């Protein structure tokens, strides 16, 4: 994802990349970040050292192991921060929320425009069908590449969170089913994680009723949708007051 952010940002005349940071163990450290990204040289070498130059905004699209240092550096230098990294621990989430009291932060489980629009639609479907005769069953199926380390995806969990807000506080979150589980209750959201090949991300939200169903499906064909969304969030965040924002804010959608 870092490579795609570098590649797409390099093509944007309104942006200037001033630093590209990775772990010090990266064997390509010291090489031009544009070349590493499969792009033309940009005159910025991959480094593990935080930049001394003035920075308008930082995009973190890495791993949970890297987020703590990133948050600390951004808070210390009062730099706006876009966090697209998923799988954060509860302690890291709390740290990020605390950072939002000092700097502006865009934090979202998915930077995709299509995903966030589908989240909006899913919440509206849940709200409309909450009291449907016969009850409403909600299942979330997500597919990702074999290398993904967290399950279910942060995006799937966000879908569930938004839907649960419309269905009520009694809603339970059930992760997979096995054995004699008994009949499905109407107050639960089911999650199912599939890991196959190089799938960059696919989510299907099933709203089942007696006699009919609605399925919302959103799928990425490559990772550029996430990189371009993170870049759009970074542009939007510059100049904003401190606080925690999400992609609904960036896109001008009501929560």
Give the strand pairing for 137-144 and 188-195: parallel
Provide the 3-class DSSP secondary structure of residue 137.
Answer: strand
Report whether 108 belongs to an annotated binding site. Answer: yes
Structure tokens, 63: 């791993």
Q: How far apart are CA 1 and CA 144, in angstroms?
A: 14
Report whether 84 belongs to an annotated binding site. Answer: yes
In what order do the strands lie in the sheet containing 58-60?
58-60, 81-83, 104-107, 243-245
Identified catalytic residue from 23, 95, 120, 148: 148
Report whether 109 belongs to an annotated binding site. Answer: yes
Report whether 111 belongs to an annotated binding site. Answer: yes
Report whether 118 belongs to an annotated binding site. Answer: no
Identified catalytic residue from 95, 97, 120, 144: 144
Specify whether 203 is catalytic.
no
Q: How far apart are CA 215 and CA 184, in angstroms?
A: 19
Burial class (CB in 10 A: 0-12, 13-18, 19+), 247: buried
Structure tokens, 14: 């309104």
Q: Which residues line the annotated binding site for (S)-2,3,4,5-tetrahydrodipicolinate?
A: 145, 154-155
Q: Which active-site residues does the annotation give?
A: 144, 148
Summarize the annotated binding site for NAD(+) as residue ranges: 84-86, 108-111
Residues within the annotated binding site? 84-86, 108-111, 145, 154-155
């Amino acid at each position: 994802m870092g490579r795609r952010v570098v590649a797409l940002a390099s093509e944007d005349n309104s942006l200037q990349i001033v630093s590209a940071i990775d772990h010090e163990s990266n064997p390509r450290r010291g090489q031009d970040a544009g070349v590493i990204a499969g792009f033309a040289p940009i005159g910025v070498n991959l480094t593990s050292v935080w930049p001394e130059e003035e920075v308008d905004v930082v995009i973190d699209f890495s791993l949970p192991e890297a987020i703590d240092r990133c948050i600390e550096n951004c808070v210390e230098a009062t730099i706006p921060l876009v966090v697209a990294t998923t799988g954060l621990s509860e302690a890291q989430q709390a740290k990020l929320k605390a950072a939002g009291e000092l700097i502006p932060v865009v934090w979202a489980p998915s930077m995709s425009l299509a995903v966030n629009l589908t989240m909006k639609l899913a919440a509206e479907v849940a709200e409309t069908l909450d009291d449907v005769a016969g009850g409403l069953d909600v299942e979330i199926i997500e597919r990702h590449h074999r290398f993904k380390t967290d399950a279910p995806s942060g995006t799937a969990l966000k879908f569930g969170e938004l839907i649960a807000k419309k269905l009520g506080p009694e809603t339970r979150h059930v992760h997979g089913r096995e054995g004699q589980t008994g009949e499905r209750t109407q107050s639960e959201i089911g999650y199912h994680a599939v890991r196959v090949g190089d799938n960059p991300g696919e989510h299907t939200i099933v709203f089942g009723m007696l006699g009919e169903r609605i399925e919302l499906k959103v799928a990425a064909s490559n990772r550029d949708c996430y990189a371009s969304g993170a870049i759009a969030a970074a542009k939007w965040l510059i100049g904003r007051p401190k606080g925690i924002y999400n992609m609904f804010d960036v896109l001008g959608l009501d929560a």
